Amino acid sequence: MWCCVLLFAMAWAIWWLLRDRQTISGLSDKHVFITGCDTGFGNLLAKRLSRKGFQVLAGCLTQSGADDLQKACPLGLKTTLVDVTSQDSIAKAVEWVKTEVGDRGLYGLVNNAGIANPIGPTEWMTVQDYRKVMEVNTFGTIAVTLAFLPLLKKAQGRIVNMASILGRLSANGGGYCVSKFAVEAFSDSLRRDIQHFGVKVCIIEPGFFKTAVTDLDSIERSLQKLWDQMPPETKRSYGETYFQQYLKVQRIIMNFICDPDISKVPKCIEHALQARYPRTRYSPGWDAKFVWLPASYMPAFIVDAALAFVLPKPEQRVC
């Protein structure tokens, strides 16, 4: 009995590996539009795809980012400015892409643009703090996707949405985890709704990598601003010691857990675009695979206890 089960598992694993390695051809005829290409994952992805032979259409937020990327990749790549929080900017990007792709349609859309700050204890936030992050990460992803869907259906293309492993498990307050949970839900419903048109939807769930999103100086400046503007009563309930300890714990965790090899994320996106049978979800990063993903399946009380052990305790708390 067990021998049969083992043989079946081995046969399935071999079949999956062989299937997973099959790729498509004719990359030079395929256009891919990427948002958030100024720096980080998007910037590196645009360069990798252009070297692979894709026709890359890179959306940048700033002119300097667009100029630098164009200089780095003069062939197989074109840039444009796009602000995913502006419907007018998205509409202009769609018209620009239409002129580039012609009747072939758009093969790939990568919703990479995103921000994280402010992150921190939930009570320190305002509703506007949540809106600021979700406007980019969630509504920006939704708006761009809906605008490009007709072109993607024409090419029977692929949509790759940048979520996060923190879209599986909410480890901190602020709009980041909330926005990434929403991206997961949007991507799942979108995948089921448009599969009949030959359009595939993939979700990227990175762990912690050394990018602008995880820059400690930026995170700490944001936290300091939250702390300074907090009502005195709320501030007293936490205590000055809590704030300093929170910063210290955060530094230790981020310095330990952040992976400096950010190429792991673009490699996953590249597979999602180039594989004949792309995966539904990719979780690049050792922490994503061995910490956050397993923790997301654990009972909530275990995860709550672990985070409570790691994080500092407020001064005015129920003992």
SS (H, E, C) 72-99: HCCCCEEEEECCCCCHHHHHHHHHHHHH
Q: Could you give the CA distance from residue 3 to residue 165 in angstroms, rounded to a whole number?
A: 36
Q: Is 219 within 8 Å of 117 (Cβ atoms)?
A: yes
Q: Would strands 119-120 and 77-81 be described as parallel, antiparallel, or unpaired?
A: unpaired
Could you tell me the sign of the dihedral formed by the alpha carbons of 122, 301, 116, 132, in that order?
Answer: negative
Helix (H, G, I), strand (E, B) or coil at 176: helix
Q: Which of 107, 130, 176, 282 is catalytic?
A: 176
Q: Could you give the CA distance from residue 59 to residue 61 in angstroms, rounded to a whole number?
A: 7
**Who contacts 68 (Cβ-Cβ below 8 Å, separation ≥6)?**
none
Q: Could you give the CA distance from residue 179 to residue 163 in angstroms, rounded to a whole number?
A: 8
130 assigned to active site = no
The amino acid present at 1, given as its one-letter code, is M
Shortest CA distance to 113 belongs to which of 92, 91, 95, 86?
Answer: 86
What one-character DSSP code corresponds to residue 281? E
Residues annotated catalytic, as ranges: 176
